[in-house]
Amino acid sequence: MCNNLKLSIIIPCYNAGKYIYDCLTRILHEQINSSLKSDELEILIINDGSTDNTRKIIEDNFQLPNVHLINKENEGVSITRNIGIKNAKGKWIAFIDADDYLDNGSLPKLIEIGENTNSDVIAFQYRLVSPHSNVYGTNTPVEISKPTDGISYIHNTNGLTWRTPVWAYLFNTQFLQSNNILFANDILYYEDFIFMWNVCIKAKLIHNVNNIFYNYVQVSGSCMHDYRKNHLLKLNNCTMPLLRELNILHKHDRDEIKEYIIRDKNSFVFGHIYRSIKYNLGYHRLKHDIDRFQSMGLYPTADLTKYPGYGSLGHKILRKVINNRITLTALYIYFKIANIF
């Protein structure tokens, strides 16, 4: 790592031509208007095989010493972010998605927090905004008044509930690189989830800051709001790799951690089955998947009503229907007919 380089910003992008100019301009404007010097900040843009004008916009407008463009074939956000981690030379790493942005004044504040702590990770807060910057809401602040170890952080956040997006953290680069903490290459969705579990299990010190620094822009048609069949099949294809990674984490010897991992495994299975039924992703495929879940002890799905978000009457009824193969089949047929009309 370079002595003067304090922060590496990693921006994975795929067909981000609509957003990348504003994203980079905001970061550079922030640097110019703060105490940051150009040799204290590097921006790593990893272009994941974009087919639009993303590459051209960057090459035409941002030929700067501290802006580094890495072009690669399309392999997904996990491999893309891993390239950023491996190439980062700053003391700290921040992730920013191309369509999101930081609050004004965030960069020097984040770096100052990093410089004044020996933490492995710094957690901060974020808000949800529209493309026109209308605020939808904010995440629930974490009530942790002093730095804590990663296991305690998991427990204090109810098993990382709403705390898995990597752009809501600042990471010590040496901590990530020395522990070989990377994203699972074959997980294209919920990749942050497994990454943050691995981070917290290995982190000796996490510093929580209840300041909002990041703006998550909710774009219609984004990957987590895409209900096209092809996308949903890709989403379901991530279930088994997610369960594989959770099974590895399940070997951890802390009972309170095991409880959250069991919850999350059952939650992913429930979501997989529900998507398969509601969007008719293939009955024989669903039967095959349920057989696999059953062999893993994850079907019938477990009762999760004691956890936030699972206690509604509708969820309880749906779980009973899903956990019986006869009523599950009837529900699949119902949605198949409903989707026709």
Domain boundaries, the chain: 7-221, 226-340
| Cβ count within 10 A of residue 273 | 24
Q: What is the 3-state secondary structure (H, E, C) of 287-309?
A: HHHHHHHHHCCCCCCCCCCCCCC
To the nearest 10°, report the CA torsion of 89, 199, 84, 127. -110
- pLDDT for 266 equals 95
- d(C-alpha 281, C-alpha 284), whole Å: 9
Residue 329 in tokens: 């089949």
Q: Is 97 helix (H, G, I), strand (E, B) or coil?
A: coil
- d(C-alpha 166, C-alpha 231), whole Å: 22
Helix (H) or strand (E) holding 124: strand 121-129
Q: Regarding predicted confidence, which is higher, 26 or 110?
A: 26
User: What are the tens digits of pLDDT across the range 269-282?
Assistant: 999 999 999 999 99
Report the chain's mean pLDDT, rounded to a whole number. 91
pLDDT class of 226 with cuts at 50, 70, 90: low
- Residue pair 323/313 in contact (Cβ under 8 Å)? The answer is no
- pLDDT for 36 equals 81
Long-range contacts of 260-263 (CB under 8 A, 24+ apart): 260/154, 260/158, 260/159, 260/160, 261/197, 262/302, 263/159, 263/302, 263/304, 263/307
Residue 39 in tokens: 């040799």
- d(C-alpha 90, C-alpha 94), whole Å: 10
- pLDDT for 154 equals 92
Q: Regarding predicted confidence, which is higher, 79 or 310?
A: 79
| Residues above pLDDT 70, as percent of the chain | 96
- d(C-alpha 114, C-alpha 218), whole Å: 28
Provide the phi-psi class of 47: left if phi over 0, else alpha when psi is between -120 and 50, else beta.
beta
Superfamily of domain 7-221: Spore Coat Polysaccharide Biosynthesis Protein SpsA; Chain A (3.90.550.10)
pLDDT at 224 over 60: no
